[in-house]
Every structure is written in structure tokens, then in C-alpha cells.
Chain A
Amino acid sequence: MIAIVDYGAGNLVSVKKALDWLGAESAITSDPGQVAKASKIVLPGVGHFASTAALGRLGLQDAIANAIGRGIPFLGICVGMQWMFERSQESPKTLGLGLMEGECERFPDSVKSPHVGWNQLEVASSSRLLRGVPSSAFVYFTHSYRAPVSDTTTACCEYGGRFSAAVERDHLFGVQFHPEKSGEIGLTLLGNFCAL
């Protein structure tokens, strides 16, 4: 069972719907016990980085950190990916999980923000998550902060500078875009995660 972690940050129906379509068994949950039993974990997230503070309050952060320590595959989407980094300028007092190095930062004033719409991936290195996803594929973004490019970056995107569109290390995966809203490309990626 794939746990879709609900920490009160927005609407998780779309992620559940995509996993249902792929035939994967999943449940939306805010119960640390159920997260602890999951075979895989998806952490979606829209809105503000500060909302991830609820993960600590609800006991979900410990459950997730523990599962990751046991090798359970983890996928962070949008703010869920940003939470994998150390921190974000959006809410400097809220700490991320620090699985990836660096700080998420605001888009420069030279571009409209939020970054909303279909933009192109630049697939940078081999990736289990992006298997079958061509470089320059279009995916759907909606976000106001972005993660830096680092050695865990598997795909970049360009909008007022380059940023990490996808990151990967061992069994840890993050995507800034919304695979559940990115048509066939997104379903391919989610299918790869389900098949791990």
C-alpha cells in the first residue's frame, strides 16, 4: 500500500486518482501508524513551505524519517520535494528534512511568479524515476519557490534561471512539477515509482 501523506496542505485527490488509474493500491492518510506500514510513501504538497511544520506536529515527520531509514521508497511532489531540502526562503524558521543539500529560493523579479504552466525538462542524468521520460518533455508546474541544482538533480528546468525539476538519491525521489497533472509523461513517471 502506498501512503499519500495528508498534512492539511491542499487537495490530494488528484494524486490518488492517478495512482488509482495506474492500478496501484493507495490511501490518503494522516496516521503515522499507517505511514509506518506503507510499502511506499508519497508526500504531495501545495501552498506554503510553513505548512510542512504540521508534519512534525502530527508525528508524521518521524514516521517518514523512520521509513526512509528502512529503505522505503519516497516521492516528494512540489512543496513535498522542497521539504526534502534543508530549508526554504519562504519560511526560514521551518526546517526541511535535509535529505538534499541546499535552500529553496524565490524566483527573481525578472519573471512572473508563480511559475504556472507547462515547461520543458532537461533530463540531466540516468534516473529510475524518469525512465521512459524523454529530455525536453513538457510537464506542468505551479510554484513560487524553487530548489537549487545539485549533484542529486536528475532533471533541470529553466525559468528565470535553472532549477531542479527532479532530484533522486537511492530510494529518495522528488519532483517540483505535478506528475498527476502532466498527462502521459506524468503517468509514466508515477508508473515507474509504483513499479520500484
Chain B
Amino acid sequence: MLTKRIIACLDVDGGRVVKGVQFENLRDAGDPAELAKAHSASGADEIVLLDISAAHEQRGTLLDTVRRAARQLFIPFTVGGGIRTLEDAAAVFSAGADKISINSAALADPTLITRIAERFGSQAVVVAIDAKRSDGGNRWEAFTHGGRAGTGRDAVSWAQEAESCGAGEILLTSMDRDGTGSGFDCDLTRAVADSVRIPVIASGGAGGAQHFVEVFRRGHADAALAASIFHYGFGRLIELKQQVATQGIPMRLPC
């Protein structure tokens, strides 16, 4: 049976993982390559590395980070943040990423999705959507630039357009839940997951195993992503997956 995926996300600034990190047996807990490898060993189904560096001159650092992480990573590896052109994407792929994630640049020019998909395949193109409840909570608006800029676009219709442009997966972050640990936005996830045929990765709000169970069952998510939960709450991701599996959700065990 196809399992639900649990994806570990590393937020990287200037070549270092930011947010608190408490991993045992690591020489350097802020090193993305070390952390990616540790997450893989502890059962992550996939790794996402998001570059949140503000400065453009740090792009070179990012490529070096991707190269070092990819060398010892043999599970799917997605890289996002600051990819604006086909050339940016090509550089990240040749550094060793399997998929790229694009957000603001795709909204500004949806043909970027198509151009990357034509060259590298749809399976390599993840469109990230940052969504926030609007209209009294009845719909969700897509935001860009790290959640700073509203677009007026409905998140569900944007997901459908991204799919038709050639996106292979949607990485859907609830801005309302991000960082709260209060659970994923299952309504948002379900609204998007039920309106596209491609897989939807839920993000934002993970606080415990029950939240993953809910977003898979009620939110119809294909995968769920979290960052800080893996740094604090769970020493070993495998324990989280075991808890989710005991509730009847198919998980990859043992990893």
C-alpha cells in the first residue's frame, strides 16, 4: 500500500539550519548536511531544505550546502527558496536536488512551472502555496514573499492552475497555523487535496502525532511536513511514525 509520507524540513539561512535544534550524536547540530542525514536515518521519508536567506549573495553558499547534503542522502530531496528562473532551478538540480520548490516566482509567472517541468519532469516541480484564511474564514488567499505579500488569489484555484501548468506536487502551508503547534489546517488541506489530482503536502501547525493522523484522515493529505517538531518534540522520527501507524495510517516502517 502507498504510505503517507512524513517530511522533515530544514530552514536554512546563510548555510546554517535556523530554529532550535536538539539532535543527539551530531558533531554540528546547525549543519544542514548533518541534519538531513540524521533525519533520514531516523525515518524521514523525504527532506525539504528551504533557503530563507534574505541576501542574494548567499546563493553560492546554498548550492554548496545542497551539494554536501545530497552526497550522503538517498531519499527524495527538495530544495526551495529564492528560485526565480529556469537557470536557478538547473543549478540546484545539478547540485543534487531531486525536486525544486517555487512560490513567489511561480505566482508572478506561471510559465516558469511549465518550463522547469518540460526540462526536468513534473515530478521535480513542487509548487509551494502559503495560504491564509480570509473572507471571515470561508476561503484562503495565497501569499508570497515569505507571507508578507497578499496576492488576492484564491489558494484552491491557484493550486488547480499550478497543476495544469505542470506542477508535480503542492506544498501547502497554513500561515494561520505555522509555528503554533496547534495542528494542521485540515479544512484548507482537504479543500486543495480534493480539487487536484497531484499529491498535496500539508505544512504548518504540527505539534504531535495526532495532528498527523488528522491531516491524513480528515485533510486528505498525501504527505505532511514539519520542521521544529523534529528538533524538539521527537528525538527519533520513527517513534512518531509508529504512533501514527497504530492509528491505521499506512507508514513506511521500519525505515
Contacts and interface: CB of A to CB of B under 8 A. Distances in A.
A138 B3 contact: yes
Contacts of B2: 115, 117-119, 159
A115 B168 CA distance: 10
A117 B223 contact: yes
A113 interface: yes
Contacts of B71: 17, 21
Contacts of B58: none
Given A21-B72, A118-B5, A183-B75, A11 B120 contact: yes
Contacts of A138: 3, 252, 255
A52 to B, nearest CB: 13
A112 interface: yes
Contacts of B121: 9-11, 46-48
Best-buried of B1, B70, B74, B121 by chain A (most CB within 10 Å): B74
Interface stretch (B92-100, B145-153, B203-211): B92-100
Given A14-B96, A187-B74, A114 B168 contact: yes
A187 B3 CA distance: 20
Interface in A114-159: 114-120, 138, 140, 142-143, 158-159
A159 B71 CA distance: 31
A182 B74 CA distance: 6
B123 A116 contact: yes
B123 A113 contact: no
A196 interface: no
Interface size class, chain A? 20 to 34
A174 interface: no
Interface string B82-121: 0000000000011110100000000000000000000111
A171 interface: no
Given A46-B123, A159-B2, A183 B255 contact: yes
Contacts of A142: 123, 168
A180 interface: yes
B1 A120 contact: yes
B141 interface: no
A72 interface: no
Given A11-B120, A183-B74, A118 B45 contact: yes
Interface in B1-42: 1-5, 40
B197 interface: yes
Contacts of B40: 183
B252 A112 contact: no
Interface string A169-196: 0000000000011111011000000000
B174 interface: no
A186 B71 CA distance: 15
A114 B198 contact: yes
B185 interface: no
Contact of A11 (B98, B199, B222, B255): B98
Given A47-B121, A112-B199, 9 more contacts: A10-B120, A11-B121, A47-B122, A114-B199, A117-B5, A142-B123, A143-B123, A182-B75, A183-B40
Interface of B: 1-5, 40, 45, 70-72, 74-76, 93-96, 98, 119-124, 168-169, 197-199, 222-223, 252, 255
Closest 10 CB pairs of A and B: A47-B121, A46-B121, A142-B123, A118-B252, A138-B252, A11-B93, A119-B2, A10-B121, A118-B3, A116-B199
